[in-house]
Amino acid sequence: MKNYEKRYELLKESLGERGISIDEVKEKLKSLRIETPSWGYGDSGTRFYVFKQKGAARDVWEKIQDAAQVHKLTGVCPTVALHIPWDYTENWEELLEYTKSLGVKPGAINPNLFQDDDYKLGSLCNPDKRIREKAIAHILECIDIASKLGSRDISLWISDGTNHPGQDDIKERKHRLEESLMEVYKNLGNNMRLLIEYKFFEPAFYLTDVGDWGMAYLLSTKLGPKAMVLVDLGHHPLGTNIEQIVAYLIDEKRLGGFHFNNKKYADDDLTVGSINPYELFLIYNELVAAEYDGIKLDVAYMIDQSHNIKQKIEEMLQSVENIQKAYAKALIVDRKFLKKYQLEGDIVSAEKILTDAFETDVMPIIYKAREELGVPLDPISSLRDSGYLEKIRKERV
């Protein structure tokens, strides 16, 4: 961070020689919006145990306080995703006014279809019509909450599946799911979207009813233009080329949003960019390439992680910075020469264009953007020096 102005000028000169405007990169970084999740501020854990943290948010009001702190320190996180019933309150108007008073707004509303004894055999795919209707009613309740809060997106993870061969009729489950989602879709507000999230396994271990992006894409096309696909980076088998999925969904105009996190083995929900930062860069490379080609994107960038052992607000700040770095590196890719080498079949030179951008230190641009946004150059150090952590540890006993 020291003497970053000199590093900024050197980078400006270097990028300028390639016809890349550092000012345009900086402005795009300033306009990037990242949604943080309410559940990332409360106690969480593994299937085996929850390690409680002093000062962790205990209710939706305290979660919003912490989310507002992240926005205050970054300037790019103005919305907080809510999870129902985890964040349920009797007075949504009061909650909306409270969020506004802290400088943030409610974001995506996430229904819960996985924490109820009735959902043992599924929710929207359950053989029992009564239980399917219960699940639909819960999503409709979430749509009503979203309407009251001015939220656009219903972020729907359908955790349904089976554990054993022969447990249920696979095609019948597909039919039940389609019929249930049709009922949900027709109740969406005019400006709302249904973001359909997929996951290849867990909590079911034989089949998952929405197990990959193709299934989510098929459902979205059957429902209509307000249904989109949500890509959770941890919801794929090892080795999956996520950037290819992103490119296909962009081209089909069905990419609705991301849940950012990182994995080593399965759905680990680790800090985004902490295990495979090159993958995150390549994903953003596809997003920036689409914009470069004149494609208008409307993508919700949301964090979805389990902050189990790191300090929760600090890990959120770390995640935001990792996303900013990946985006900045994608923005400085020399796309004219990349296209040239691709058309010529010069694979080595084309790949070097990407690796050169990935290996570039883009922090001077991020520092400059933060300075112009009026936020700290080092958000984590600023948080530690602010006394906020000591305050909540003392108050939230």
Instruction: Name the residue among 132, 124, 139, 249 with its Cα closest to residue 185.
Output: 139
Bridge partners of 46, per DSSP, are none
Per-residue model confidence as pLDDT tens digits over 348-376: 999 999 999 999 999 999 999 999 999 99
Beta-strand pair 207-208/161-162: antiparallel
pLDDT of residue 2: 64
- Angle of the 347-358 helix axis to the 277-292 helix axis, nearest 10: 110
Per-residue model confidence as pLDDT tens digits over 318-356: 999 999 999 999 999 999 999 999 999 999 999 999 999
In a domain, 375, yes or no: no
Mean pLDDT of 197-204: 96
pLDDT of residue 182: 98
In a domain, 385, yes or no: no
In a domain, 380, yes or no: no
Query: Are 211 and 199 a contacting pair, CB within 8 Å?
Result: yes
In a domain, 46, yes or no: yes
pLDDT of residue 47: 80
pLDDT of residue 87: 98
CA 175, chain centre distance (Å)? 29
Query: Are 124 and 181 a contacting pair, CB within 8 Å?
Result: yes
In a domain, 100, yes or no: yes
User: Is the pLDDT confidence value at 386 over 80?
Assistant: yes
Q: How many domains does the chain have?
A: 1
Three-state secondary-structure class, residue 232? strand
Global pTM reads: 0.97
pLDDT of residue 32: 98
In a domain, 370, yes or no: no
Per-residue model confidence as pLDDT tens digits over 145-170: 999 999 999 999 999 999 999 999 99
CA 278, chain centre distance (Å)? 17
Residue 49 sits in a domain whose CATH number is: 3.20.20.150
Per-residue model confidence as pLDDT tens digits over 268-319: 999 999 999 999 999 999 999 999 999 999 999 999 998 999 999 999 999 9
In a domain, 11, yes or no: no
Instruction: Name the residue among 177, 223, 216 with its Cα closest to residue 199.
Output: 216
Residue 280's domain comprises 33-332
In a domain, 278, yes or no: yes
